[in-house]
Amino acid sequence: MTTISSTVPAPIKPGPEMKALARFHQDVSWDGVIQADGMGPGTPRMTATGTGLHHVIQDGRWIVGDYEQDQYLPDGTFVLRWQLHWVAGWDPAAQEYRATIADCYGHTDVLRGRIDGDLLTFQTLDEHAPVRIRLYWHLEGTDRIIWRNEISLNGGPFELVERYVCRPWDDRGLRVPSV
């Protein structure tokens, strides 16, 4: 006798890929620089400070990140608060990491990712999109992650938009001191 439970596929079980991905998704605070023209032609160089908070959903199948950063002109004048929602995980059908993003400007994207040792890279899935992004997380140690955002316009080369030094938080929500 066939039962519904024997014919309905079960959800995937998170595997070692999610454990590997979680190393790069720590709760962090950061500071760094947004390049001149990084937010579009004519935009000024800015500094930024921000935070990223993460949790897992669907029994560990996906990692969700919520990011927020304040951006300032070199003289310290506040410009804006930027926000982004991120969902990343392992796609067993594609055999690669996938992520979706949505930010406060209304931008959305789907990215593909890979891990090479202590480097995580995500890049826009659509190779023919007029605007493509490439994101890097480089684990330099237990207390320091370097994060970079690059952009390619109309098939051109990728160029640096922003670079941040991220510092993980401890279990109490306090920044881990830099060495």
Segment 78-136, tens digit of pLDDT: 999 999 999 999 999 999 999 999 999 999 999 999 999 999 999 999 999 999 999 99
**6 domain-assigned:** no
**84 domain-assigned:** yes
Residue 45 phi, psi dihedral angles, 5° rounding:
-65, 140
Q: Is the pLDDT of residue 2 over 80?
A: no
Find all residues with CB under 8 Å of 28, minimum gap 6, and list them.
Answer: 51, 52, 145, 166, 167, 168, 169
Closest to 174 in 3D by CA, of 22, 29, 49, 25: 29
Percent over 70 (pLDDT), the chain: 93
**5 domain-assigned:** no
What is the domain-level CATH number for residue 88? 2.40.128.20
**176 domain-assigned:** no
**178 domain-assigned:** no
**120 domain-assigned:** yes
**175 domain-assigned:** no
Q: What is the pLDDT of residue 172?
A: 54
Q: Contact 30/164 with Cβ under 8 angstroms? A: yes
Count of other CB atoms within 10 angstroms of residue 159: 13
Structurally, the chain folds into a number of domains equal to 1
Find all residues with CB under 8 Å of 52, minimum gap 6, and list them.
Answer: 27, 28, 29, 30, 65, 66, 67, 166
Q: What is the pLDDT of residue 177?
A: 42
**179 domain-assigned:** no
Domain that holds residue 73: 14-168
Rounded to whole angstroms, the Cα distance separating 147 from 137 reads 5
Q: Is the pLDDT of residue 175 over 70?
A: no
